[in-house]
């Protein structure tokens, strides 16, 4: 096993996951990036563009193809990472999808509901279960440094969006999963945290950029700007670096102040 801590980031090929991977690399972590898209010929975007950015920080990067919603992929994903690094110190559950089409809650389809839940909740839950068992074994042997699991949920875990009910429900369930894993893993000194990003500028939010530009300008976000992937990345580094070691179960909102209730 190497001396550097190893962070596993799901959905690392773009958006928030990419920002998290780069921030962790800048902080000295070796990085295993998992993404459903895997194209070694594409050096301009995706995992192999990210590999170049990460390795600029003099740490290593392992690109891993994997579909989080496919439970049969989980064993192979973890095996590839353990064969390469020998351990996982930090798991960042970032992979997530939005509905392909926003629909009113009164017309939400079962297919859309199942698709979103399969990645955001079901796949993430069972990958965490598998990685946690491995982390327990290594933690008992004293092989891990500040072992922790970080769930990237959303302000939508609490904020209602009737045009994407399945997304909100998936993130609310993920929030509860984080709490349960935090409770269970205290016995093994593995901390678990939940990060709730607000309105973050990514490919996922690009289709509604004009809408949110207007709302942010009007004061929806007290800090009056979009969030960026690196904002979430910095929070991950603080948690993974052990700065909140006495705060397992912590829920941290990265939303520019949207958590402030005001008149």
Does 1 fall in a domain? no
Q: How many domains does the chain have?
A: 1
Strand bridging mode 251-254 / 148-152: unpaired
- What tens digit of pLDDT does each residue of 107-135 get? 999 999 999 999 999 999 999 999 999 99
> What is the Rg, in whole angstroms, of the alpha carbon atoms belonging to the chain?
18
Tokens of 213: 């530009």
Does 40 fall in a domain? yes
pLDDT of residue 98: 95
DSSP 249: T
Task: Tell me the pTM.
Answer: 0.96
Alpha helices for 29-123 (secondary structure H): 47-55, 71-85, 110-117
Strand arrangement, sheet containing 251-254? 61-65, 30-35, 6-10, 90-93, 148-152, 191-197, 251-254
Residue 194's DSSP bridge partners are 151, 251
Does 46 fall in a domain? yes
Q: Is the dihedral of CA 126, 83, 193, 183 positive or negative?
A: positive
Q: Which residues are annotated as catalytic?
A: 167
Does 29 fall in a domain? yes
Does 263 fall in a domain? no
Backbone angles phi, psi at 92, to 5 degrees: -110, 110
Find, among 1, 68, 72, 70, the residue nearest to 30 by Cα. 1
Q: What H or E segment, with its residue span, contains residue 169?
A: helix 165-185
The domain in which residue 139 lies consists of 6-254
Evaluate if residue 1 carries a pLDDT over 80.
no
Helix (H, G, I), strand (E, B) or coil at 90: strand
Does 176 fall in a domain? yes
Q: Which domain CATH number covers 209? A: 3.40.50.720
Does 262 fall in a domain? no
- What tens digit of pLDDT does each residue of 199-231 get? 999 988 888 899 999 999 999 999 999 999 999
Does 26 fall in a domain? yes
């Amino acid at each position: 096993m190497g001396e550097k801590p190893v962070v596993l980031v799901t959905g690392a090929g773009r958006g928030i996951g990419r920002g998290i991977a780069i921030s962790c690399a800048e902080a000295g972590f070796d990085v295993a990036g998992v993404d459903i898209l895997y194209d070694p010929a594409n050096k301009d975007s995706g995992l192999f563009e990210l590999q170049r950015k990460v390795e600029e920080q003099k740490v290593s990067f392992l690109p891993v193809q994997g579909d989080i919603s496919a439970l049969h992929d989980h064993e192979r994903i973890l095996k590839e990472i353990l064969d390469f690094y020998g351990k996982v110190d930090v798991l960042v559950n970032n992979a997530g999808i939005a509905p392909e089409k926003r629909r009113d809650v009164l017309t939400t389809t079962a297919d859309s509901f199942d698709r979103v839940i399969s990645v955001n909740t079901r796949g993430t839950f069972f990958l965490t279960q598998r990685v946690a068992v491995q982390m327990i074994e290594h933690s008992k042997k004293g092989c891990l440094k500040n072992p922790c699991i970080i769930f990237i949920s959303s302000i939508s875990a609490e904020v209602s969006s009737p045009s994407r009910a399945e997304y909100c429900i998936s993130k609310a369930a993920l929030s509860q999963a984080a709490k349960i894993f935090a409770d269970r893993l205290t016995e093994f000194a593995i901390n678990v945290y939940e990060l709730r990003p607000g309105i973050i500028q990514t490919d996922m939010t690009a289709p509604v950029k004009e809408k949110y530009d207007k709302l942010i300008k009007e004061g929806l976000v007290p800090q009056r700007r979009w969030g960026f992937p690196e904002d979430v990345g910095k929070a991950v580094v603080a948690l993974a670096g052990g700065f909140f070691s006495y705060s397992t179960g912590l829920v941290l909102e990265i939303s520019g102040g949207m958590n402030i209730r005001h008149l």
